[in-house]
Amino acid sequence: MLNSPADLINMSDDELIDIANGKLNYRNSARSTITRDDIIREAKIILQKRTMKSQLPAQPTAEKEKEQKFGILYSLGQATTDFALYSSGLGTDGCVGVLFLDIDNFKPLNTRFTESIVDQEVLIPFQQLLSNICLYRGDAYRHGGEEFLVLLPNHTPEEVTQFAERLRRKIETEEFFVGQIPVRITVSIGIAFWPKHGGPLIDLIAKANRAEHEAKAKGKNRIEVCEE
């Protein structure tokens, strides 16, 4: 009986292949945001990484680079490295989702509480929440200020869009505290897909960013998919 994607790590290739093919007995608790499809997808990703690793010469394992200010999410340089790995390993039939997130109405929040307090009381727990939500699905990166990036490898466009909507809903229901004052925030999310919307990550980020601006223009706290 599987309880989480973490249980997959020590499984054999044969066991992972069975799970990737849908032979899965999974117990999903009422509070869990992890679905049966997430377990199957993670099994496929682990198998893919094992295959790619076996084809490379032995080398020391490098830790992923965190961004410097908070040290919670990964850096944009790491995003470039990860994207190159994901896109080269998936082939032409694969898909990588690129999500660009921007916290709505962030400047008034800074004006109300000051930037340093918002950094500590809102941005830090927000980044921890984002990292936890993305666990086993992809990786989260800090783009700068109140902007963030998420890469979702080995997902279909439909799965990427569904995940973005779940992410948006989870954030809007989360309560943060500045001192004793409860604060709720929302995000606008733009989405682009590799290879549909382009090749280089910088181009995909730009397109996802434009889609995020469209989400803001349509009222904020929503997702928009790149139309190009």
- The pLDDT tens digits for 62-81 are 689 999 999 999 999 999 99
Among residues 212, 181, 189, the alpha carbon closest in space to that of 114 is found at 181
Written as one letter, the residue type at 5 is: P
Q: Which domain holds residue 24?
A: 5-54
Q: Mean per-residue pLDDT for 50-65? A: 60
Identify whether residues 95 and 166 lie together within a single domain: yes
Q: Check if 63 is active-site.
A: no
Q: Return the pLDDT at 2.
A: 63
Above 90 in pLDDT, residue 92?
no
Pick the range with the lowest mean pLDDT from 86-95, 154-163, 168-177, 197-206: 86-95
Pick the range with the lowest mean pLDDT from 43-47, 106-110, 148-152: 43-47
Identify whether residues 49 and 92 lie together within a single domain: no
Chain-centroid distance of CA 222 in Å reads: 16
Inter-helix orientation angle 13-20/36-54, to 10°? 140
pLDDT bucket at 29, cuts 50 / 70 / 90: low
More confident residue, 152 or 3: 152
Identify whether residues 9 and 107 lie together within a single domain: no
Q: Return the pLDDT at 32.
A: 61
CATH code for position 199: 3.30.70.270
Identify whether residues 92 and 204 lie together within a single domain: yes
Identify whether residues 13 and 93 lie together within a single domain: no
Asked whether residue 50 is assigned to any structural domain, the reply reads: yes
Task: Tell me how many domains the chain contains.
Answer: 2
Asked whether residue 90 is assigned to any structural domain, the reply reads: yes
Q: Mean per-residue pLDDT for 207-228? A: 96
User: Which of the following is catalytic: 42, 67, 146, 224?
Assistant: 146
